Amino acid sequence: MGSEEIVVNRKGEKKHSLLIYAKLPEPINLKSWLWEFDNAGEYNPGGNTYYKVQAMEI
């Protein structure tokens, strides 16, 4: 379980970077979605940036 940044370059290659390094308690309710953060390639030049986001009740 964890949130991550996903950058997809023009060739379709993906780079995953974990964003949370702490151990979190077991959630009671967990929801996860993919957020299309930047599809213009400005945040990470030459790539589309997505975030795997998770929300939980603890």
Beta bridge partners of 47: 9
| pTM of structure | 0.78
Q: What pLDDT shows up at residue 4? A: 93
Q: What pLDDT shows up at residue 1? A: 55
| CB neighbours of residue 47 within 10 Å | 20
For the chain, 58 residues long, give each residue's pLDDT as a single digit of tens.
568 999 999 999 999 999 887 888 888 899 999 999 999 999 999 899 999 998 888 8
Q: What pLDDT shows up at residue 48? A: 96
Residue 40 has phi, psi (to 5 degrees) of -95, -10
Alpha carbon distances (Å) from 22 to 4, 43, 46: 13, 25, 30
Q: What pLDDT shows up at residue 58? A: 81
55, 27 Cβ separation under 8 angstroms = no
Among 2, 5, 1, which Cα is nearest to 37's? 5
